[in-house]
Amino acid sequence: MKAIRLLGKDNIQIQEIPVPEISDDEMLIKVKAASICGTDVRMFRNGYTGVSEEHPLTLGHEFAGDIEKIGKNVRNYHVGQKVSVAPNFGCGTCNQCVSGRTHLCKDLHAFGVTMDGGFAEYVRIPAAAIAQGNVSPLDKEISYQAAALVEPLSCVYNGQLLLHAEKGSDVLVIGMGPIGIMHIMVAKVFGAGKIFVNDLDHDRLMKAKELFPDVTVIEGDVMEGLRANGVEGVDVCIIAAPAGAAQTASLNYMNMNGKILFFGGLPKDRENISINSNLIHYRQLTIQGCTKQSISEYRLCAKLVNDGRIPLEKILSDTYTAEQFFEAMDNAAKAKGLKHVITF
């Protein structure tokens, strides 16, 4: 089968490798669509711990397909079933795992990161991932491409769920990449009031406005932009860009009791930022972090997409064959378009 494999820094190859064997407790999924994420781009540029020419890794943690084969001990699934797969699973027994937060397990496994993932024609699903519910059934109608995007969507959902924002909250989303666009979609599900969007890139802002005409675009100085639109601040600010300066500045945009979401990490050499502690204190602000998603959040997002409540197709920029992978990777790395999906 074809597999897109990382062999080290700046070294990805499209290889022909054997289809994985499965045990009686495992399943084999025939991948139909897998999307490229910023994580894939970073792993390509920087390499990844434990990955080398001797130990290659099939990338891809956002994927959907059909069940091709099932071990005889696996219940509740059937061959031919359309599914998407949540990438993260834990040990199953630590306090985080038993609380349903398998994604926060210290012994975390992840398709396409710590084990072979979805940029291949077939992927083996280990028993632990099946037992923890990582394989999520899909409706017939949903496209495989949209189903692959349930993964990043559920990361976004996890972040906003943690905020506990009240309905009608005015929301500012900074960063209009695919994640920022998904934050708009999820903010609507959570009952946002006004939604403001900001980015340094004019074209990205125009794209957001085209997709969601009801959002208010703010270009240039954010505070001036908010005032020009009749508000003195927002209740929720989501920073969906790897920009420490935006995180620092966000405190100034907040209403009393405001909630800030730091979505996504900063580059390692710029991870320390300054924060105005008095703004947090006197405005009673909350700064929330988030990472990955629980299985229940993944399942709920799959349902929202299945039910047509979240129009994920809107962020699909292009589909590519496995042979066109490098073109797709290049577009993702240059932030051209929104989401790029490989189909098998």
Residues lying near Zn ion in the complex (CB under 5 A) are found at 37, 39, 90-91, 94, 97, 105
Min dist. Cβ of residue 104 to Zn ion (A): 8
By beta-carbon proximity to Zn ion, the closer residue of 204 and 339 is 339
Min dist. Cβ of residue 149 to Zn ion (A): 9
Structure tokens at 5: 């494999």
- Tell me the C-alpha distance between 57 and 7, whole Å: 7
By beta-carbon proximity to Zn ion, the closer residue of 149 and 261 is 149
Min dist. Cβ of residue 99 to Zn ion (A): 10
- Tell me the C-alpha distance between 196 and 273, whole Å: 24
Nearest to 106 by CA among 116, 114, 118, 94: 94
By beta-carbon proximity to Zn ion, the closer residue of 39 and 306 is 39
Residue linked to tokens 């509740």: 76
- Tell me the C-alpha distance between 83 and 209, whole Å: 32
Min dist. Cβ of residue 196 to Zn ion (A): 25
Q: How many CA atoms lie within 13 A of 222 on its CB side?
A: 24
Kindly state the helix (H) or strand (E) to which residue 160 belongs, with its residue range. helix 150-163
Over its C-alpha atoms, the chain yields an Rg (Å, rounded) of: 20
By beta-carbon proximity to Zn ion, the closer residue of 36 and 215 is 36
Helix, strand, coil shares of the chain, percent, nearest 5, are: 35, 25, 40
Nearest to 234 by CA among 258, 216, 214, 218: 258
Min dist. Cβ of residue 35 to Zn ion (A): 8
Do residues 220 and 200 touch, judged by C-beta distance below 8 A?
A: no
By beta-carbon proximity to Zn ion, the closer residue of 90 and 117 is 90
Other Cβ atoms less than 10 A from the Cβ of 200: the count is 14
Distance (Å) of CA 38 to CA 20, 295, 335, 339, 340: 27, 21, 9, 10, 11
Do residues 151 and 60 touch, judged by C-beta distance below 8 A?
A: no
Min dist. Cβ of residue 103 to Zn ion (A): 10
Min dist. Cβ of residue 114 to Zn ion (A): 14
Min dist. Cβ of residue 56 to Zn ion (A): 20
Min dist. Cβ of residue 294 to Zn ion (A): 12
- The length of the chain is 344
Structure tokens at 144: 């495989």
By beta-carbon proximity to Zn ion, the closer residue of 167 and 334 is 334
Burial class (CB in 10 A: 0-12, 13-18, 19+), 217: middle
By beta-carbon proximity to Zn ion, the closer residue of 70 and 329 is 329
By beta-carbon proximity to Zn ion, the closer residue of 96 and 286 is 96
Pairing of strands 316-320, 339-343: parallel
By beta-carbon proximity to Zn ion, the closer residue of 116 and 170 is 116
